[in-house]
Amino acid sequence: MGVLHDDQRSFEFEDRLLTHLQIVVGVKLRRSECFSLSWLPGRETGAGRQSLWISTGTPLHFEFNGSRVPALNRDWIELLIRESGGGIGLNLSDDRSREPLAV
């Protein structure tokens, strides 16, 4: 599991998802586009949905468990970028934000 750190908190994500999320955040912030990132934390935390506002002023640090960069899925990256521009932002708990299956 990788970790996304903001100014005061840390959030665990699977390394593959976190790698794709890092790319999406980079693209959005280079364009000076703010967005909301929402997800359902693991069941072990007992917490409900969480949301983080990401803007150019948000200090972020991506920490990965593995040393190798996973294979990137460009279709998934494009999907996540599109979803992040919607009214509710990027909702990782929404099935539409899941990685597309290879056909």
Give the span between the Cα atoms of 103 and 100, in whole angstroms.
Answer: 9
Per-residue pLDDT band for 61 (boundaries 50, 70, 90) equals very high
> Does a structural domain hold residue 16?
yes
Q: What is the pTM of this model?
A: 0.86
> Does a structural domain hold residue 101?
no
Give the span between the Cα atoms of 76 and 32, in whole angstroms.
Answer: 21
> Does a structural domain hold residue 85?
yes
> Does a structural domain hold residue 103?
no
Model pLDDT for residues 12-46, shown as the tens digit of each residue: 999 999 999 999 999 999 999 999 999 987 666 66
Across residues 80-102, what is the average pLDDT?
A: 80
> Does a structural domain hold residue 43?
yes
Beta bridge partners of 3: 12, 63
Across residues 42-67, what is the average pLDDT?
A: 86
Q: Is the pLDDT of residue 97 over 80?
A: no
Tally the domains of the chain. Answer: 1
- The closest alpha carbon to 34, from 82, 76, 84, belongs to 84
> Does a structural domain hold residue 69?
yes
> Does a structural domain hold residue 77?
yes
Q: Which residue has the higher pLDDT, 77 or 42?
A: 77
The whole domain housing 80 covers 2-96
